[in-house]
A and B are shown apart, each in its own frame.
Chain A
Amino acid sequence: MMLEFIQHLVNGLSLGSIYALIALGYTMVFGVLQLINFAHGDVYMLGAYIGMYTAHFFQLGQNSSVLALIFTITVSMITCAVVGFLIEKFAYRPLRKSPRINVLITAIGVSLFLEFSGQLLFGPDPKFFPQIFKPSGDWSIGELKINPLQILVFFISIILMSVLQTIIFKTRLGRAMRAVSFNHDLASLMGIPTHRIISYTFMLGSGLAGAAGVLVGLTYPKIDPLMGTMPGLKAFVAAVLGGIGNITGAVIGAMTLGLAEEFLVGYWAPTYRDALAFGILILILLFKPTGLFGVKQTEKV
């Protein structure tokens, strides 16, 4: 009984931390632009593919090590950051003064563009993610068997999230990001180059999504060009659950969702895995649209 519980807990934390990495990108971009960047899940898909190609290119599958993993994650993060920069620059920046709905539709367009370019470039069939880090076997404590990969995923995510937290709350870039998320015009009158700060925000968020792509490839090594849709939507739900625009909220929302999913699957109804996230979304929107940690935004007159 206890064994099973710990097993689900570990699975849930590992899944939750993947959601968290993606949800942070949603929430940061929403913070600075009030935009739901629906292409974000597809950046995560690109992250997985970039990881795969990097591993193939450097033949990391044959000589797996922690270094290989760190290297792959870094390459994937940097490339995804560049992709995020380009998406913002060419798809969203020209629409800065347009109504929000236009930008939202563009985001869906970018998402479809990435998914189907992915099918064209990478092929529509699922690919196998090489084992760039192979643990020597499960850790067993008594009868409990834990896959070290899941613990690793959890810890890498925690490290990345703390770095992000530090950037946002302890650096000048973070101060500028928070100023921009408060009000563009005001930030700009304080001498803050708002466009540039928005670019950096996209790059940070996309970088994290790239890392999530590689980490998912490690634990569920089957990747395909449409793999970003569902985790993207779920991470979005997680961000809404925590209160969109709120960094801590996104992490807590994602962990909650990950744990809830794993416990639901483990104890009750495995087929309802995907229904859970959207059930939560509906409930949140009905009863607490600002999310758990969101603040009510008063419409400016």
Chain B
Amino acid sequence: MTTLHNETDSLEALEVKNLTIQFGGLKAVSDLNLQVSKGMIFGLIGPNGAGKTTAFNMLTGVYRPNSGKIQAFGKNLVGCRPFQITQFGVARTFQNIRLFKNLTVLGNMMIAMDHHPEQKHFWVLPSLLRTRPMVENEIQQEKNCLELLKIFKLDTRKSEIAKNLPYGDQRRLEIARAMATGAKLLLLDEPAAGMNANETKLLMHSIRLIRDEYQMTILLIEHDMKLVMGICEKIAVLDYGVKIAEGTSSEIQNNPRVIEAYLGKVPTDE
């Protein structure tokens, strides 16, 4: 393996090698290795403070790792600025919802889709003069946004102000918005947080749907084990910044180190 992956024939959506970041004396993530193949739903779990969100922040360029490599679709991400990473096709959602609260549902989507890598760039003049290609492009863009909103049953609420949406809808809008950036790899940070059992079930269905219909690759952080075990084909477990296990759901469930990380060591009687 001397040559780097070619962008087109790379089967990996995401490759992380020896990723390490240190805050002062604390190694928040150390030597993390991950491989997420295209079209996979991959779960990243671990107790609170294990470094999962920190890992996401490195993947999206918010933090710069001290060492290690990140490649998405064959492109190096380390040292890139967040907006470039988004344009390479990696987008995320947040643990604490971060929408453009005062804009409409559609407005949130349009902003994200404005910077879709395949989007034609109409800046000031054509938009001021409302030229035909510009107007047509805008109409098409709106259609595309509505199509994405439909997956999450939000198309009927397109004119509502984002902050007035119910909690679950806000979470779903975040996912739709991440897709609107043109991303092929979605990083979902606790997408089911605060959802009831029924909403979680619908969400699982939607995640599978976007993978199947839109060829998305999904890496998600989640504490809801029903969701993780239900849809993730592969799961990695972080504890104190170190990956302690990786495998399918049944492998993870029976792994003693994972049980120890979550529940503590079972004292032995000897």
Please state if B114 and A188 are interface contacts (CB–CB under 8 Å): no
Cβ of B13 within 8 Å of any chain A Cβ, yes or no, is no
Cβ of B123 within 8 Å of any chain A Cβ, yes or no, is yes
Task: Please name all residues of chain A whose beta carbon is closer than 8 Å to the beta carbon of B122 when the two chains form the complex.
Answer: 171-172
Q: In whole angstroms, what is the CA distance A167 to B125 when docked?
A: 9
Please state if A172 and B123 are interface contacts (CB–CB under 8 Å): yes
Please state if A190 and B128 are interface contacts (CB–CB under 8 Å): no
Task: Please name all residues of chain B whose beta carbon is closer than 8 Å to the beta carbon of A178 when the two chains form the complex.
Answer: 100, 103, 111
Please state if A176 and B124 are interface contacts (CB–CB under 8 Å): no
Cβ of A62 within 8 Å of any chain B Cβ, yes or no, is no
* Distance between A262 CB and nearest chain B CB, rounded to angstroms: 33
Q: In whole angstroms, what is the CA distance A185 to B92 when docked?
A: 12
Q: In whole angstroms, what is the CA distance A163 to B124 when docked?
A: 10
Cβ of A183 within 8 Å of any chain B Cβ, yes or no, is yes
Task: Please name all residues of chain A whose beta carbon is closer than 8 Å to the beta carbon of B86 when the two chains form the complex.
Answer: 188-191
What per-residue 1/0 map shows which CB atoms of A145-182 lie under 8 Å from chain B? Answer: 00000000000000000010011001111011011001
Q: In whole angstroms, what is the CA distance A161 to B70 when docked?
A: 46
Q: In whole angstroms, what is the CA distance A170 to B128 when docked?
A: 8
* Distance between A54 CB and nearest chain B CB, rounded to angstroms: 23
* Distance between B48 CB and nearest chain A CB, rounded to angstroms: 18
User: Which residues A17-34 have CB closer than 8 A to chain B?
Assistant: none
Interchain CB contact (< 8 A) of B82 among A172, A179, A185: A185
Please state if A166 and B82 are interface contacts (CB–CB under 8 Å): no
Please state if B114 and A189 are interface contacts (CB–CB under 8 Å): no
Task: Please name all residues of chain B whose beta carbon is closer than 8 Å to the beta carbon of A170 when the two chains form the complex.
Answer: 127-128
User: Which residues B90-131 have CB closer than 8 A to chain A?
Assistant: 91-92, 98, 100-103, 107, 110-112, 114-117, 121-124, 127-128
Please state if A190 and B92 are interface contacts (CB–CB under 8 Å): no
Nearest A residue to B117, CB-CB: A191
Please state if A189 and B111 are interface contacts (CB–CB under 8 Å): no
Cβ of A194 within 8 Å of any chain B Cβ, yes or no, is yes
Cβ of A280 within 8 Å of any chain B Cβ, yes or no, is no
Please state if B62 and A175 are interface contacts (CB–CB under 8 Å): no
Interface centre among A171, A182, A189, by most chain B C-beta atoms within 10 angstroms, is A189
Please state if B60 and A171 are interface contacts (CB–CB under 8 Å): no
Interchain CB contact (< 8 A) of B123 among A171, A185, A191, A193: A171
Task: Please name all residues of chain B whose beta carbon is closer than 8 Å to the beta carbon of A185 when the two chains form the complex.
Answer: 62, 82
Task: Please name all residues of chain B whose beta carbon is closer than 8 Å to the beta carbon of A173 when the two chains form the complex.
Answer: 123-124, 127
Please state if A176 and B83 are interface contacts (CB–CB under 8 Å): no
Number of interface residues of B (CB under 8 A): 31
Nearest A residue to B92, CB-CB: A189
Please state if B127 and A191 are interface contacts (CB–CB under 8 Å): no
Interchain CB contact (< 8 A) of B100 among A171, A182, A188: A182
Task: Please name all residues of chain A whose beta carbon is closer than 8 Å to the beta carbon of B116 when the two chains form the complex.
Answer: 191
Nearest A residue to B87, CB-CB: A191
Nearest A residue to B88, CB-CB: A191
Please state if A189 and B128 are interface contacts (CB–CB under 8 Å): no
Cβ of A192 within 8 Å of any chain B Cβ, yes or no, is yes
Cβ of B177 within 8 Å of any chain A Cβ, yes or no, is yes
Given A171-B127, A173-B124, are A194 and B114 neighbors across the interface (CB < 8 Å)? no
Task: Please name all residues of chain B whose beta carbon is closer than 8 Å to the beta carbon of A175 when the two chains form the complex.
Answer: 107, 110-111, 114
Q: In whole angstroms, what is the CA distance A178 to B108 when docked?
A: 11
Cβ of B181 within 8 Å of any chain A Cβ, yes or no, is yes
Q: In whole angstroms, what is the CA distance A178 to B104 when docked?
A: 13
Cβ of B81 within 8 Å of any chain A Cβ, yes or no, is yes
Task: Please name all residues of chain B whose beta carbon is closer than 8 Å to the beta carbon of A191 when the two chains form the complex.
Answer: 83, 86-87, 91, 112, 115-117, 181-182
Task: Please name all residues of chain A whose beta carbon is closer than 8 Å to the beta carbon of B123 when the two chains form the complex.
Answer: 171-173
Interchain CB contact (< 8 A) of A190 among B117, B124, B177: B177
Cβ of A95 within 8 Å of any chain B Cβ, yes or no, is no
Task: Please name all residues of chain A whose beta carbon is closer than 8 Å to the beta carbon of B181 when the two chains form the complex.
Answer: 190-191
User: Which residues A45-88 have CB closer than 8 A to chain B?
Assistant: none
Q: In whole angstroms, what is the CA distance A191 to B107 when docked?
A: 15
Task: Please name all residues of chain A whose beta carbon is closer than 8 Å to the beta carbon of B92 when the two chains form the complex.
Answer: 189
Please state if A171 and B115 are interface contacts (CB–CB under 8 Å): no
Sample of 4 further A-B pairs with CB below 8 A, known A179-B100, A179-B111, A189-B60 = A175-B110, A176-B111, A185-B82, A189-B92
- A/B interface sample: 11 pairs, CB < 8 A: A167-B127, A167-B128, A178-B103, A178-B111, A183-B98, A189-B92, A190-B177, A190-B181, A191-B115, A192-B83, A193-B83
Contacts from A to B (Cβ < 8 Å) = 163, 166-167, 170-173, 175-176, 178-179, 182-183, 185-186, 188-194
